[in-house]
Structure 1
Amino acid sequence: MKYVVMSTTVQDNIHFPNNDAEICAAGGAGMYALAGMRVWEEDVGIVSGVGEDYAGLFGKWYHENAVTTRGLRVKDEHTPCTVIEYFQNGERKETPLYGKQHYKKLEPTPEDLAGSVNDAAGVYIFRDSNPEFWAAIFKLKEQYGFHIMWELSAASAKSDCLASVLQTAQNVEMFSLNRTEALSLFEANSMEEAIQRLQRSSLGLVYLRNGADGVYLIQKDVVCHVPSVAHADVVDPTGGGNSSTGAALVGFCQGKELREIGAMGNVASAFCIAQYGVPPHYDGEMRRLAEERFQEVLKRVTYMKNNEY
C-alpha cells in the first residue's frame, strides 16, 4: 500500500425522524480518510480492527473500488456499530451499539500497522497524543521512512494537552485539526490568533480545517487559504474533515504546492459529503469531475503573509 490509513472503520446505522427505514453505511474516521485518498490514488488501504461480519457488510465496496483489505484485522465477532439518530431540529445523537470498550478493543495498534508500511509513502493517523502510542509509531517511521499526517482527535484538543500535542506534532510532516479544536487547544479567541499560535509552534505543515470556508495550510512564513468547492451538494457533512485530510496527505507525498494540496482535500471532501457514508463507486467520471473541480478551486486560492489575516 502506497498510502495507508490507521484508524477505525465502523458500521453506521442511520435513523431519521418519522421514518422506520434504516441506512447502513460504512463510516468512521478511517473509512472517510480512505475514501478521500481514493479520489486521487488507487493504491490505498486501511489498517483497522474489524469484526467477523465486516466482509459481509462492506467487502463489496472494497472489491468494486479496487481497495485492498489486507490491512484489516479481525478482532471480534462484531464490527463497531454506531447508531445515529437524526431529529426534526437537525440535531443528532450517536450511540455505540456495543459500547465504548468494544470500540476501543478494535482500535488498530502500532503492531497492526507494522505489516502494512513496507512500501508506504504516507500514513494517515487519527489519534490522541498518547506518548506510548507515538513512540512506537515513530520507531516504525524511522525504520520505513514514511511521511505522517496526524489528524488530532477531540480527546486531546484541549489546553492541558497542548504541550504533548505540540511535542508529537513536531515529529510529523503534516498536522490536521479543525477550527473548534484549534481554538480549544490554544484557548484562542479567534482563527487569526490560532493561526498565529500555530505559526510560532515550529511545526511542519498545518492543515487547519474551517468547515464550509475551506482550509488553511500554515507554515512559519506563509498561510494559504483554499476555499471549498463551489455549489457542492451537502447531504451529510460527517467525515468531510477526515476525507479532506486523507486526500491532502496524498497531495503532500506527491510534492504538490500548498494550494494544490488544499484543493485536493476540498474536492475529496465534496464527494464524501454528497451522500450518507462514503462514495459508493469510483470511476473515470468521478476523476474527470474531480479534476474539473480542482481547477475551479485553484482559481480562488489566496496567500497571506504574517499579519495579513
Structure 2
Amino acid sequence: MFIIDDIYPPPSAPNQTSQKDIIGGAGTYSALGARLFSPPPTQSKTVGWIIDAGTDFPAAVHSQIESWQTSALIRPREALTTRGWNGYGENESRAFRYLTEKKRLTVDDLSPDFLGARSFHLICSPLRCIDMIQQILTHRTEHNEANPYIIWEPVPDLCIPAELPNTLQAMKHVQVISPNHEELASLFSQTHPATGVDRALLENHAQRLLASGIGPAANNNNGAVVVRAGKEGCYIAARDGSARWLPAYHQDSRKVVDPTGGGNGFLGGFAVGLARTGDVVQAARVGSVAASYCIEQVGVPSITCAQDEGMGRVEEWNGSRVEERLAEFRGRTG
C-alpha cells in the first residue's frame, strides 16, 4: 500500500520538527528495496507496484516516483490519498494511525504481468494470505507459469496468540515468513525487554514456528523464518537445520536517522535476492543493505547518476553505489 506520511520524531531527538508529505507505506518501501538492486533501463521495470493517487496527490511525489523508472501503476482515485501519522518514541518504538481512508489492494488489482512475477511480498492477515496465494497460483497454473517465491510479512495487529493457529496454517503456503522480533514474541504472549532484543527468546520463538513446518508440502516444507530485529540485524532459520544471525548493515547508530520503512525495504531487497539466488542468507544480505538505505534519512533515499570511466553513467543512492555496499557487507559477513 502507498501512503503519504507525516512523521513526528521521538522526544529525545534534538530536532522536534515534524516532516509532512513524505512518501511512505509498506508497499512503497518494499518496491524501493527491490528497485535499489534493479537499475534501469531493464531491471527497474521488473519491479511492479500499485499507487492509488487521490485528489490531493502532490505533483512532486508523482515526479519522484516516475524518476525511479519502475513499473509503477499510478491510478487516479476519487478520494484523498491514503495518509498516515507516524509518531516515534524511544528504542525505535513507533505509533501509527491512518489520517484518511486506506485503499487496500487485492489480487484482482494485479495485471497479468504483475501476476507473472518471480517473487511476491505479501503484507496481510493469515487467512487473507492463504486466499491471495491461492488466487495467484490459480492464475499461474492457467498460464503454465512456475510457482513464485512468496515472502509473507504478517500484519502487526494480528501477531497475537489467538491468530497463532491461522499463522501456522498460512505458513504452509509461503517460502518465507518474516515478522519483526516484537511481532514474533507477541504471537507467543511474550515481550522483549525495554533494553533491547532478547536473542535467546527470539531464537526459541523462531524455532517453534519452524518446527510447525513452513513451505508447500510439494517442496518438503522447505521454507525459512527470517526475523527482523532492528539494530540487532536479522535471524535466519531454515528447515534444513541452518540458522544464523546477520548484523544490521549500520553499526554506528548515528547513521540511522529514521527507521521508518527499514523492515519493508529489507523484504523488498530480500525478495529480489531470493528470486535471483534462491539462497535465504544471500537474500538477507541484500535485504540488509536495502534497509540501510531506507533509514539514512527521513523519507526515501535520493538517487543521482555519476560518471564512471569504463562504465558510463551509474546510479548512486545517497551518494554511494548499491553493489559496492553489498560487496562490502558480504565481505564483512561471509
TM-score range with shorter-chain normalisation?
A: 0.7 to 0.9
Whole-Å separation in 1 of the counterparts to 2:54 and 2:259: 26
Instruction: Confirm or deny: 8 A CA contact 2:2 2:50 kept in the other structure.
Output: no
Using CA pairs below 8 Å that are at least 6 residues apart, which structure has the higher relative contact order?
1
Identify unmatched segments of 5+ residues in structure 1. Answer: 1-7, 303-309
1:139 maps to 2:135:
yes
Residue 202 of structure 2 corresponds to which residue in structure 1?
A: 191
Instruction: Confirm or deny: 8 A CA contact 2:249 2:288 kept in the other structure.
Output: yes
Instruction: Indicate the larger mover: 182-191 or 170-179.
Output: 182-191
Whole-Å separation in 2 of the counterparts to 1:280 and 1:288: 10
Whole-Å separation in 2 of the counterparts to 1:139 and 1:202: 22
1:251 maps to 2:273:
yes
Instruction: Confirm or deny: 8 A CA contact 1:229 1:293 kept in the other structure.
Output: no
AA at the equivalent of 2:224: L
Partner secondary structure for residue 225 of structure 1 = strand
Whole-Å separation in 1 of the counterparts to 2:7 and 2:182: 25
Residue 49 of structure 1: CA displacement? 3.5
Q: Note closer, same or farther for the CA distance 1:241–1:136 as it changes in structure 2 (3 Å cut).
A: closer
Q: Alpha-carbon deviations, 1:189-218, whole Å to 9, x = none? A: 711211221220211122211111111221
Instruction: Confirm or deny: 8 A CA contact 1:48 1:108 kept in the other structure.
Output: no
Residue 94 of structure 1: CA displacement? 3.8
1:207 maps to 2:226:
yes
Partner secondary structure for residue 295 of structure 1 = helix
What is the correspondence of 1:293-308 to structure 2 with a 5 Å cutoff? 293-301=325-333
Residue 28 of structure 1 corresponds to which residue in structure 2?
A: 25
AA at the equivalent of 2:180: N
Q: Note closer, same or farther for the CA distance 1:84–1:202 as it changes in structure 2 (3 Å cut).
A: closer
Instruction: Confirm or deny: 8 A CA contact 1:216 1:225 kept in the other structure.
Output: yes
Residue 197 of structure 2 corresponds to which residue in structure 1?
A: none
Instruction: Confirm or deny: 8 A CA contact 1:45 1:68 kept in the other structure.
Output: yes
AA at the equivalent of 1:293: R
Residue 140 of structure 1: CA displacement? 1.7
The one of 197, 214, 218 equivalent to 2:237 is 218
Give the paired residue count: 288
Q: Alpha-carbon deviations, 1:260-279, whole Å to 9, x = none? A: 21110010000000111111
Identify unmatched segments of 5+ residues in structure 2. Answer: 39-43, 141-146, 192-200, 215-222, 306-314
Residue 88 of structure 1: CA displacement? 10
Whole-Å separation in 2 of the counterparts to 1:257 and 1:177: 19
Instruction: Confirm or deny: 8 A CA contact 2:210 2:224 kept in the other structure.
Output: no
1:56 maps to 2:59:
yes
Residue 301 of structure 1: CA displacement? 3.5
Residue 79 of structure 2 corresponds to which residue in structure 1?
A: 77
Whole-Å separation in 2 of the counterparts to 1:209 and 1:68: 27
Root-mean-square deviation (CA), in Å?
2.8
AA at the equivalent of 1:278: V
Residue 220 of structure 2 corresponds to which residue in structure 1?
A: none
Q: Note closer, same or farther for the CA distance 1:88–1:157 as it changes in structure 2 (3 Å cut).
A: closer
User: Among the aligned pairs, what percent are the same residue?
Assistant: 27
Whole-Å separation in 2 of the counterparts to 1:160 and 1:111: 29
The one of 255, 269, 286 equivalent to 2:291 is 269
The one of 311, 317, 321 equivalent to 1:289 is 321
Residue 139 of structure 1: CA displacement? 2.2
TM-score w.r.t. length of structure 1: 0.82
